[in-house]
Chains A and B, each alone.
Chain A
């Protein structure tokens, strides 16, 4: 796909996205307030149609099918350009439950619709199956398990889903990156700028490990990690006011099994949420909290409990698709016709 990268334009600034009229109205269709941040701005589109995500060279003596794996950043970009999409960044310390969340959601579709959302198709069926395997009986394990995400470039799980109420059919791209890489941004906030999923996300999903929040010895450190990580993202300038924030308490089943029924943990979560809202709420279009059990290991919660609420939040129309008000400089001119030549600010 490297040969399909948009090229630097020597002409007047414009966008590689053919649907974006930034050169005319000054408004970035991707939602970047500063066009310099947009990876498409100032480049020209390459006309040849990119191969479908995951295509790979034909094997000898056979015909290649499309791959069925997670998508690279470039492949995810192609999806975003070609169809309505929801980009979801899922950040959190290691073992917070990122892969469990992704696999748990996929497994709910094995049994039917999730709330008002129906499965349509996926370019990542192999990857989903791999992620789900260790919690399935076919693995012959006696306790559910989830493989850890290795360090490296972010990969995106792809789902095409249908909102059966609105009829919207977006591609949902779930970013998966090793938790420790997000944690390291606390020491080096600028490193968050190297994580394209954060800047491009419609919903930034921060996971709070319920098991650690339950643990008296770890809960203060965990809350600090979450606060400092979000602070680093804000400081690095990778969050935008068009993004929504989801603060997600994981492992609900384990919390409910605590001697106090999880009361202190839920209070701790509410305190964390209130603090984040107060300090960073203005950086986001919305802040919501969720308590989930994606792949429970006890009978304290139903499998996939509350994932339908989180999915509905992810499925909401991104703010980047919503029209924004624009300020026009109407020139003083005697002829009305000349006043029609007004351009939005910054577009001259």
Chain B
């Protein structure tokens, strides 16, 4: 039996844990056909998988990974007619990636995981921080007839810190780090998951077009800055299918999703013009 690992990357709140929860439900319940099928669970954070999948089925938001610490989950999956493969997913808190960007350092264990050849990079399609400029906002206010703002009080001015950088800049830096020492391991496969795709798909763009429009710097980097021996695919993934309840609110959307008889049908994966419920598609590509 061969062993493979896929590192799951993404800034905080990018949908990593929700993906794992839906994946575990998908492969363990076998409600819809998938490219990879479940054989058994490895020891490790089995409880974590059960817990997050339970939340997912109940259409409740996941607890932030940062609060529970980094998790390493392993499961044995196999392709049709293929040999079983142990697939390990480090579920790393997004804060670890913020630390890499901001403080230029990362935990040794995380650095080890980041050397895997298969990379799942999550970007929340509906929570992309884009750069805006003072002059554009000032001119917009003038255009709509609002009086000019008085000069900001010194205490209201926000000093620069790494965490105010646009999402695309932080992601370019993360990927640059993956192809330079000490994390460079040569050729890799990179599956970019635009999560919460249900929020973005209304614009009628493909995942590639959406990324190019919302994150042009990242798009340029993927085309020209990523090492030529890396392969990239961009998927639009809705692992939830809509908005889930949190501890304090009950949402009609969550109720609608709970009403779907086959929970796996909440899931939607868009790639290369096709659409399916199969979250194992990007994994299968990373593992081949």
Contact = CB atoms under 8 A, between A and B. Distances in A.
A224 interface: no
A206 to B, nearest CB: 25
Interface string B131-152: 1111111110010000011111
Q: Chain A contact residues: over half helix, strand or loop, or mixed?
A: loop
A283 interface: no
B220 interface: yes
Contact of A129 (B100, B169, B216): B169
A152 B149 CA distance: 36
Interface stretch (B18-26, B62-70, B155-163, B198-206): B155-163
Nearest to A298: B135
Interface stretch (A59-67, A180-188, A315-323): A59-67
Interface residues of B, number: 48
Nearest to A145: B134
A169 interface: yes
B157 A141 contact: yes
A113 interface: yes
Q: Chain B contact residues: over half helix, strand or loop, or mixed?
A: helix
B108 A142 contact: no
Contacts of B138: 142-143
A62 B157 contact: no
Interface string B163-181: 0111011001100110011
Contacts of A162: 224
B135 A61 contact: no
B275 interface: no
A157 B100 CA distance: 20
Contact of A65 (B105, B131, B151, B221): B105
Given A142-B150, A142-B151, A66 B104 contact: yes
B223 interface: yes
A63 B182 contact: yes
Interface in B88-112: 100, 104-108, 111
A43 interface: no
A126 interface: yes
A327 B4 CA distance: 62
A137 B137 contact: yes
B217 interface: yes
B225 interface: yes
A63 B107 CA distance: 6
A237 interface: no
Given A64-B182, A160-B225, A138 B151 contact: no
A142 B217 contact: no
Nearest to A123: B176
B220 A64 contact: no
A112 interface: yes
B217 to A, nearest CB: 5
Nearest to A62: B105
A340 to B, nearest CB: 42
Interface stretch (A4-12, A103-111, A225-233, A284-292): A103-111
A125 B166 CA distance: 11
Nearest to B177: A65
Contacts of A119: 217, 220-221, 224-225
Given A120-B221, A142-B152, A162-B224, A110 B168 contact: yes
A116 interface: no
A26 B138 CA distance: 58
A93 B162 CA distance: 30
A309 interface: no
A133 B169 CA distance: 13
Given A110-B168, A121-B225, A142-B150, A66 B181 contact: yes
A56 B166 CA distance: 25
B131 A107 contact: yes
Nearest to A64: B105
Contacts of A199: none
A109 B220 contact: yes
A51 B106 CA distance: 19
19 contacts: A52-B181, A63-B107, A63-B108, A66-B180, A67-B104, A109-B217, A112-B220, A120-B225, A125-B169, A125-B176, A129-B160, A130-B160, A135-B133, A139-B134, A139-B159, A139-B160, A142-B150, A144-B133, A303-B135
Among all A-B residue pairs, the 8 with the closest Cβ atoms: A121-B225, A137-B132, A133-B160, A120-B225, A63-B111, A120-B224, A119-B220, A62-B105
Interface of A: 51-52, 55-56, 58-59, 61-68, 107, 109-113, 118-122, 125-126, 129-130, 132-144, 160, 162, 169, 295-299, 303
Given A62-B105, A122-B176, 20 more contacts: A62-B106, A64-B182, A66-B104, A66-B177, A68-B104, A110-B216, A112-B216, A119-B225, A120-B221, A121-B172, A122-B172, A129-B162, A139-B157, A139-B160, A141-B134, A141-B152, A142-B134, A143-B151, A299-B142, A303-B136
